[in-house]
Structure 1
Amino acid sequence: MKPWAPRSLTVRLALLFALATLLTFTLVGSYLYYSLARQLESHDDQELLGKITLMQHLVGKAGSVQAIRNDPHPFMDAALGHNDLLLILRTADGAPLLDTQPAAGNLPLLPLTAVDQTPDRKSRQNLRTSAGMPVRATALWGRIDRTGEQVQIIVAHNVSDSLAMLDSYRQQILGAALSGALLAALLGYVLVRRGLRPTRLIAQQAHSITAQRLDLGLDVASAPDELQQLVLAFNGMLDRLHESFQRLSQFSADLAHDLRTPINNLMVQTQVALAQPRSTEEYQGLLVSNVEEYERLARMLDNMLFLARADNAHVAVTREQLDCSQELQRIADYFEGVAEDSGVRLVISGSGNLYADPMLLRRAIGNLVANAIRYTPAGQAIRLEAQQQAQGSSILISNPGPQITEAAIPRLFDRFYRADPARSDSASSAGLGLAIVQSIMKLHGGQVELSRSADQQTVFTLYFPNQGT
């Protein structure tokens, strides 16, 4: 915003109203002013043409130039009663014959219209006499019918009154324009302030919204039509903030719970060991147990760091063309021992290529396979399947096992969330695996979905778009 610009929207609109009114009044006033000036000028021209035609007629009836000099009364009588009219007659060589108002001063040289022509617009000029009198004048040649002698006829009209009228009119227009602009500014301020009253009501409602009352929202019905979209967008932002605050609160609680368990284990085991002297083997067992808890904490912190970096796009993604079958076989080989210990089989099907970061791809599939092994009953099989599509490739990991409730599905990819409220498996899982899978898919511009197949298999689908899509 410019330093001189008013910060108040009401004041700004009021000034704009004033400026628009001033501009309108000025344009209309200017039009009326020049229209009046043209009318006055046209009136003066008609009078000039009438008088100069009369003088031309009188010159034609005169006996001679000397007769005009000896008896100018017919010409003076024609100008009688017209105090604002100047009549000057001169001989062909410029010698003066008659000047009805010598006190007005001399006129500059004027172009003379021929005897048989009517003075055109160019021959009618606005001038000032040597005494400073403003006049509108014209001149033509007159010819005495009897002798053929020519006479210069100059007629001028004093326009001082017209100029004074125009000046007064101009001052009135200026005063009206300024007064109208001031009135428009005052009325505009009042009307705009009244018109913006709904925005102040919205602001009052917004002031009552706090971090603990994000679910209140703004009243859409009370907002004008022009502001309803803004109110709806603001309410949508509040809903997202409310959801984020709730997730953040739940995240803090889950984080505290998951960190408390290994720390409590470390503290209790260490306190028990220190309560009385122990043998070397007992101390070694304690250290081994502590190392397991430390490793668990390290994995948790590593996963949390990965998620934080992924959220802020600080994870470098190096994509390349990968063979789906080879990548799935590599995952199956890595989990072969764990699957045998759990009594489950890994079945691979499908082929094709996908465009992804190999390390992130293996981490995402590995998290899903590890999760599937944990919940698949012994003797059953986990299927890893690759599918090619027009715009990308999909990896499907399906397994039988306990069904996930509909209420748990929307939050299944939240951090530290477990579908089991009792957290019975918290020792082996921190609840970050699926959140990491979702972050990896976002980094690839893809998505992860959970569904149930016709044979009641739990199916996780990883969709990777093709290069450039």
Structure 2
Amino acid sequence: MIARLPMTLTGKLASLYAIATLIILACVGTYLYRALASQLAARDDHELVEKIEQFRHILLETPDSAAIIKDKHRFIDAAMGHHGLIVMLVDVNGQTLMKNHDAAGALTPSQIVPIGQEPHPRLIWNWEYASGKTARTIVAWAKLDKAAEPVKVVVGRTASERTQLLADYLQEVLAAMIGASVLAALLGYLAVRRALRPLKIIASQAHSITAQHLERRLDAHLAPPEMQTLVASFNAVLDRLQDSFQRLSQFSADLAHDLRTPLYNLTMQTQVALSQPRSNEEYIALFSSSLEEYERLSRMVESMLFLARADNAQVALSVQALNAFNELQRIADYFEGIAEDAKVKITVDGQGTIAADPALFRRAVSNLVANAIRFTPAGNTVRLYLERGSTSNVIGVANPGSGIEQAHLARIFDRFYRADQSRSRSGSSTGLGLAIVDSIMKLHGGKVEVESVLNGMTTFRLRFPVKPPS
């Protein structure tokens, strides 16, 4: 079976343009054809009325029936000059006195115009003057000059001339329609091809966009107004794709760097330990150090798996109405020992409920509290609080410290990004804590915000919607 090749857009539009032109011309041609046929019929009927009036006038100057038979050419000459005209003069006895055509059809008119009444086109009827042939005919009584008996005048006109004229006109109309449709298809093809030229340029631009040239964009000025929105949307997709690609590249680089450090430490420690015999105490110290590195790798892998599941919406939420004060106090109690070691206090304020998944809520707030304790100078306080709103409830974690520079605020939720590079090698941090907080808030249909003043307060706000997503 031969597969059909798809028609190009240019060909489709040109074909549709030609078909539309053909339909319009057919409608116009049909209207003009009918109008011409109606006008020709009206003209013929008007000539029949005039002609029968002419013969009535001639018969008024004719003394009797014998004069008609004797001078037939007078009446035949009056009928000349009109193609397809049938004229017959019949006396009251049905005898034909004169005729200019071999019409053999039975003359049974529906109406005969009486003497003294003017003929009218509505009195014209179709007479079958021969087998299968008809003529528009009018019949009237005419008065002779001296004879008492009138004469029946029959004037008809065959449709042959009008039919031939209409046939010729129809052929011309059909030829014009076909020619105009072909011309419309050709002009439509050229016009569409010219109109689609900017799209070909845009397609060429799109073809040049590769992974190595994601910074390139489509030129919206080349697109027609109807497609500028599409081009702008495509450019927006490229912006997001470039940003995601850059983030992925940075993530891969950061991941390799963070995995390399513990793996390098494990390798070096093992090589040193195997270089010569060691005491039990030295092996125990080696195993303890290796265990820390393994735990760090385990936390990193666990965090990466959580982020992967969150990105693909594979984390099932179990949203409940949580007592915010009790939850924050539980988290504060958990970090009490760490806070005492850092000589930092934790306070909890606010009453109300939060619609959230309990486990994810605690994980998000715990990540923020752990960071707050780490960066809070000794002798200061980390504050946990609740702010209630009409559309969202806010959990805040605020702490004093050196603060975060504005250049880092937009990226601190990126994976493996650390604003404080001096702590990038800290074994207690994987660089994924804030990224996990951001993912947890997106799962809840909320968002995380940060506000920081250098050498002042740094505040993270978790906005949980009052009506969480189903």
Q: Partner residue of 1:239?
A: 239
Letter in 1 for 2:241: L
TM-score normalised by the chain length of structure 2: 0.87
Alignment correspondent of 1:204:
204
Contact 2:402 2:454 in 1 (8 A): no
Cα contact 1:354–1:392 (8 A) shared by 2: no
Structure-2 residue corresponding to 1:365: 365
In 1, the alpha carbon distance for the partners of 2:404 and 2:454 equals 15
Q: Counterpart in 2 of 1:268?
A: 268
Change (3 A) 1:80 1:267: closer
Q: CA deviation at 1:356?
A: 1.6
**Where does residue 257 of structure 1 map in the other structure?**
257
Alignment of 1:287-436 (within 5 A): 287-436=287-436
Q: Could you give the per-residue CA deviations for residues 329-381 of structure 1, whole angstroms, max 9, x where no partner exists?
A: 12112212221222111101111122222221111111111111111112111
Give the letter aligned to residue 365 of structure 2. I
- Is the 2:68–2:98 Cα contact (8 Å) retained in structure 1? no
DSSP 3-state at the match of 1:137: strand
Structure 1 CA distance, aligned partners of 2:19 and 2:127?
Answer: 37
One-letter identity of the residue aligned with 1:251 = F
Once the 2 structures are TM-superposed, how far is the Cα of residue 106 of structure 1 from its aligned partner? 1.7
CA distance in structure 2 between the aligned counterparts of 1:101 and 1:132, rounded to whole angstroms: 20
Partner Cα separation in structure 2 for residue 157 and residue 313 of structure 1 = 88
In 1, distance between residues paired with 2:312 and 2:284?
A: 42
Q: Specify the code of the residue in structure 1 equivalent to 2:239.
A: D
Q: Does the 8 Å contact 1:113/1:119 carry over to 2?
A: no
Deviation at 1:216, TM superposition (A): 2.7
Could you tell me how far apart the structure 2 residues matched to 1:239 and 1:80 are?
88
**Correspondence for 1:97:** 96
Residue aligning to 1:444: 444
Q: What CA distance in whole angstroms lies between the structure 1 residues aligned with 2:332 and 2:319?
A: 22
**Counterpart position of 1:106:** 105
Provide the rounded CA distance (Å) in 1 between the counterparts of 2:350 and 2:84. Answer: 111
Tell whether the 8 Å contact from 2:76 to 2:100 is kept in structure 1 after alignment: no
Residues 121-158 of structure 1: CA distance to partner in whole angstroms, max 9, x if unpaired? Answer: 55434565424445322345667899986765432102
Counterparts of 1:182 and 1:23, CA distance in 2:
13
Q: 1:164 to 1:396 in 2, by over 3 A?
A: same
Q: Residue 410 of structure 2: SS of its match in structure 1?
A: helix
CA contact (8 A) 1:113 1:139 kept: yes
Percent sequence identity is: 49
What is the Cα deviation at residue 224 of structure 1?
A: 4.8
Is 1:30 matched with 2:53?
no
Cα distance in structure 2, aligned partners of 1:118 and 1:285: 136
Partner letter of residue 331 of structure 1? I
Q: Label 1:142 to 1:212 Cα distance change in 2 as closer, same or farther (>3 A).
A: same
Q: CA deviation at 1:84?
A: 1.8
Q: Which runs of 5+ in 2 are unaligned?
A: none
In structure 2, what is the Cα distance between the partners aligned to 1:108 and 1:288? 131
TM-score for both structures, normalised by structure 1: 0.88
CA–CA distance in 2 between the matches of 1:455 and 1:110? 118
1:8–1:422 distance in 2 versus 1, CA, 3 Å: farther
Alpha-carbon distance in 1 for matches of 2:167, 2:106? 24
Partner of 1:159: 159
> Which letter does structure 2 place at the counterpart of 1:446?
G
Give 3-state SS (helix, strand or coil) of 2:317's partner: coil
Structure 2 SS opposite 1:414: coil
Q: For 2:26, what is the secondary structure of its paired residue?
A: helix
2:367 aligned partner, one-letter code: N
Alpha-carbon separation, structure 1, partners of 2:298 and 2:233 = 42
Distance apart, 1:9 and its partner CA: 2.2
Partner AA of 1:315 in structure 2? V
Pairing 1:66-145 to 2, within 5 Å after superposition:
73=72, 76=76, 78-82=78-82, 84-89=84-89, 95-98=94-97, 100-106=99-105, 109-115=108-114, 123-125=123-125, 129-140=129-140
How many equivalent residue pairs? Answer: 465
SS in 2 for 1:397: strand
Amino acid paired to 2:183: L
* 1:279-317 Cα distance to aligned partner (Å, 9 max, x none): 455444444433332222222111111111111111111
Most deviating of 216-225 and 324-333: 216-225
Runs of 5+ unmatched residues, structure 1: none
Q: Call closer, same or farther: CA 1:239–1:145 in 2, change over 3 Å.
A: same
> Alpha-carbon deviation of 1:414?
0.3
2:175 maps to 1:175: yes
